[in-house]
Amino acid sequence: MRILRLFAILDRMRVNRRPVSAETLAQALDVSVRTIYRDMATLQSMGAPVRGEGGIGYQLEKGYFLPPLHFDPDELDAIILGMQLISVRGDEQLANAAVRASAKIKAALLEGERDNFATSPLHAVSMPDEVPAASPLLSPIRLALRERMRLNITYKDLKEKSSTRIIRPLGLTVFDRVWLLTAWCESKSDFRNFRVDRIAEIIKTGDIFPRETGKEFHDFLQTL
């Protein structure tokens, strides 16, 4: 059945973030290259984020392509409200992302359903005098965390004394309004936590750290 092969193509491309040629897909799925070209045209006409480039191959546009999902009303409440919370608590980049994601989900709902959410009966707002601006370093830290890139950070402790160190960023935790960066400190060879608002500067090292038993976030959780 052709429809299964269309989904199979998307699955293989989700697995393979590198460009993949029509020839490779054709062999894997036991069809001709011409059929793959046809399937790609069909997928694109259906709106799938697939792009092909001569000399390169096919790949999914960056991001995460989720298949159809089914949520009950409570679950959708949780998603929408969660993004409301983020839009007032995260930094600008994360807040904008929450708005975008929320819009995508709402756009996918039907008009009658949308009323339950788009008119926003559920809200998260901050009291103006309580919420400090999230650190501008939050997003670059989040990015380094995702990339698993070591950071050189300048940190001020309670006495305003500065120190620098090389860390592996492992996790970010929000305690109400305080963001805490959990890291493996290379110079101390141990886990350390840093308040993001006390990090004065970060410098990306370009140095990717490997997965290493004993130095992962779940290892830190085991110490608690």
Partner DNA sequence: CACACCCTGACAGTTTATGTCAGGGTCAAG
Partner DNA sequence: CTTGACCCTGACATAAACTGTCAGGGTGTG
Shortest distance (Å) from residue 62 CB to DNA? 16
Nearest Cα neighbor of 193 from 215, 166, 219, 171 is: 171
- What gap in Å lies between CA 117 and CA 78, rounded to an integer? 11
Give CA separation, 118 vs 39, 70, 85, 92, 98, in Å.
Answer: 36, 19, 15, 22, 14
Q: Is 90 in the site for a copy of itself (CB under 8 A)?
A: yes
Separation CA 150–CA 131 (nearest Å): 29
Site for a copy of itself in 175-214 (CB under 8 A): 175-176
Q: Identify residue 204 by its one-letter amino acid code.
A: K
Residues near DNA (CB under 7 A) are: 1-2, 5, 20-23, 30-35, 37-41, 51-58
| Residue 5 binding: pick among DNA, a copy of itself, none (C-beta 5-8 Å cut-off by kind) | DNA
- Using CB under 8 A, which of 29, 79, 149, 166 touches a copy of itself? 79
Q: Nearer to DNA by C-beta: 58 or 220? A: 58
Selected range binding a copy of itself among 51-59, 98-106, 158-166, 193-201, rule: CB under 8 A: 98-106
Q: Considering only residues 48, 137, 153, 196, which one is a binding residue for a copy of itself as defined by CB under 8 A?
A: 48
Distance (Å) of CA 121 to CA 17, 116, 197: 39, 7, 33
Member of 27, 32, 44, 96 binding a copy of itself (CB under 8 A): 96
Which of DNA, a copy of itself, none does residue 38 bind to, with CB < 5 to 8 Å depending on kind? DNA
Radius of gyration of the chain from its Cα atoms, rounded to whole angstroms: 22
Could you give the angle at the alpha carbon of 143 between the alpha carbons of 100 and 76, nearest 5°? 35
Comparing C-alpha atoms, which of 187, 188, 182 is closest to residue 216? 182
Task: Pick the binder of a copy of itself from 36, 137, 142, 194 (CB under 8 A).
Answer: 142
Residues contacting a copy of itself: total by CB under 8 A:
80
